[in-house]
Amino acid sequence: MVQDCSAILKRFYFLERELVKMQAGWMPGTEHLESKFWLGESLWKDSLVAKDLRERVLELRYPDSRVVVGDDQPFIDFVLKFQKAPNALAFLMGLTRILKPLIKNHFTKYLELADQLDDAPTIRILKYGMADLNEQIASSEKVITEFAAIYPEYAEIADSWVQLLKKTVDTSKDIFFEAEGFRIPVLHLSSPSFEISRYGKRDRSFAQALFPWPDSLEPARGAGCGSELQIRQAVHHINEVWAAEMAASVIFDLTEDAPSDFLIDAARWCYDEIRHCRMGYTRLLTWGFRKEEIPLGSFSYEAGADVDPVTRLGIIYYFESTYIHTKSERTKTFAKCGDRMSSHDMDFDWADELIHTYYGTRWLKYFLEKKGDIRTPNQVRQESEKCIATIRQRATDKQREECEGGYRRMLNRGRELGFVDNSERVSAVTNGDSHNFRG
Ligand SMILES: [Fe+2]
Ligand SMILES: [Fe+2]
């Protein structure tokens, strides 16, 4: 009956919502870059399933417009235990080998029991949710294997964690269908409570530099031109991983204080930044750069380490609104130079950034009003800019040298790969494939 279905779907909604929050919570503290990519995409897709489930619950309960946790708290408490993994690899393994399969089995069971006609809107939501879960569970194995190969010291403890979860949680059981929370397995964990990392952990298979390019440290140095601008843009794109982390951190910090569509906007924001990061990474690999040559920094994320969540939201908004004009300019510049792929990336990036500035204004305004803070989003933006100025001022000689060294190595390597110093027209060297421009 409708009441039974809406009760189960409400539980599914809160489970999916917790999935988004816990994946966001782990993103900054996850070292392995491909795992960060995986988390960003996964949390975005989960947020869409959560959104659809919530709307379906409201449809079934109309005219009641409340969707509150109520008696479902024990289920949420159970799911939150998965967050307390001993390291990022363990979290990923527990999530994709136990928790997501458990949720998938519940979706399957619901689909088996549901009336395909009367409850057809739910059928569609869960079928799409199942497709996402199947894809996430399958794709995670390659990511986990690579993570364990780069961080072998995490593997043993991660395996023990998964064994502990397996012993306690039978993924074939229908625990989320229980009318009460009393049959939920109790996970006895020795791990301390989970805390999000305020430092953006970086993958050791890349070059490390807190400030990844000279203009990150000193904006007055400018973005350069010609082939330097091409390489710089791709390096800046991959370094937008910090923006994904900042969006993830605001999901983690602010979701409970916001209406339901905040999670949807912030999850999309997070995934878009992951896509921008992949754009740069793909360009660099296609051109022939190796992982260990590519500098990965984290200064923009760490600028928010000691401030409140709204100022952190202001930091990402500061970058979005300050540099948005460069996206359309560079779309044209790269097209003029014959680098059609970079131009194409910048064009799609620009489309995303226009939405992001809207997200920034909308949610800063919301949280300021809620707190009774009379500042405008632009005033917060100015406060946030000070955080960036502070971390730049504190740069040590070693950090400056890491930045300059990485920059010089990238440009030297670029010359080896056929990039030429020409500010008018970058060498349009192709290998016969019009989609594979060197320049
Ligand atoms: Fe971006
Ligand atoms: Fe953005």
H or E stretch at 295: strand 295-296
Between helix 2-26 and helix 33-61 the angle, nearest 10°, is 160
Q: For residue 236, which ligand has an atom nearest its CA?
A: 1
Global pTM value: 0.94
Q: How far apart are CA 236 and CA 34, in angstroms?
A: 17
Ligand 1 geometric centre to CA of 243 (Å): 7
pLDDT in tens, 335-358: 998 899 999 999 999 999 999 999
H or E stretch at 145: helix 120-150
Query: What ranges make up the beta strands (E) of 158-284?
Result: 207-208
Ligand 1 geometric centre to CA of 278 (Å): 10
Q: How far apart are CA 308 and CA 124, in angstroms?
A: 40
Q: How far apart are CA 105 and CA 114, in angstroms?
A: 14
Q: How far apart are CA 278 and CA 318, in angstroms?
A: 22
pLDDT in tens, 118-127: 999 999 999 9
pLDDT in tens, 387-430: 999 999 999 999 999 999 999 999 999 999 998 765 443 443 33
SS3 (DSSP) at 207 = strand
Ligand 1 geometric centre to CA of 346 (Å): 10
Ligand 2 geometric centre to CA of 230 (Å): 19
Token pair 């990039």 is found at: 419
The 3-state DSSP composition of the chain as helix, strand, coil percent (nearest 5) reads 70, 0, 25
Taking CA atoms, 172 is separated from 102, 134, 150, in Å, by 7, 16, 32
Average pLDDT over residues 170-174: 80
Percent of the chain whose pLDDT exceeds 90: 82
Ligand 2 geometric centre to CA of 328 (Å): 14
Q: How far apart are CA 315 and CA 317, in angstroms?
A: 5
| Statement: residue 432 has pLDDT above 50 | no
Q: What is the pLDDT, as a whole number, of residue 332? A: 92
pLDDT in tens, 19-58: 999 999 999 999 999 999 999 999 999 999 999 999 999 9
Q: How far apart are CA 275 and CA 297, in angstroms?
A: 17
Residue 202 CB: number of other CB atoms within 10 A?
Answer: 23
pLDDT category at 191 given cuts 50, 70, 90 is low
Ligand 1 geometric centre to CA of 276 (Å): 5
Q: How far apart are CA 177 and CA 105, in angstroms?
A: 11
Ligand 2 geometric centre to CA of 94 (Å): 30
Average pLDDT, the chain: 92
Average pLDDT over residues 129-146: 98
The length of the chain, given as a count of residues: 439
Q: For residue 276, which ligand has an atom nearest its CA?
A: 1
Ligand 2 geometric centre to CA of 359 (Å): 10
Q: For residue 319, which ligand has an atom nearest its CA?
A: 2
Ligand 1 geometric centre to CA of 89 (Å): 26
Q: For residue 355, which ligand has an atom nearest its CA?
A: 2
Q: How far apart are CA 423 and CA 226, in angstroms?
A: 4
| Residues by chain with Cβ below 5 Å of ion ligand 2 | 320, 353, 356
Ligand 2 geometric centre to CA of 400 (Å): 26
Ligand 1 geometric centre to CA of 356 (Å): 8
Ligand 1 geometric centre to CA of 437 (Å): 23
Ligand 1 geometric centre to CA of 352 (Å): 7
User: Higher pLDDT residue, 237 or 175?
Assistant: 237
Q: What is the pLDDT, as a whole number, of residue 63? A: 81
| Statement: residue 433 has pLDDT above 50 | no
Taking CA atoms, 244 is separated from 160, 212, 282, 317, in Å, by 30, 16, 17, 12
Q: What is the pLDDT, as a whole number, of residue 182? A: 57
SS3 (DSSP) at 208 = strand
User: Higher pLDDT residue, 177 or 180?
Assistant: 177
Ligand 2 geometric centre to CA of 352 (Å): 7
| Statement: residue 168 has pLDDT above 90 | no
Q: Are 280 and 344 in contact (CB under 8 A)?
A: no
User: 258 is written with which tokens?
Assistant: 């916001």
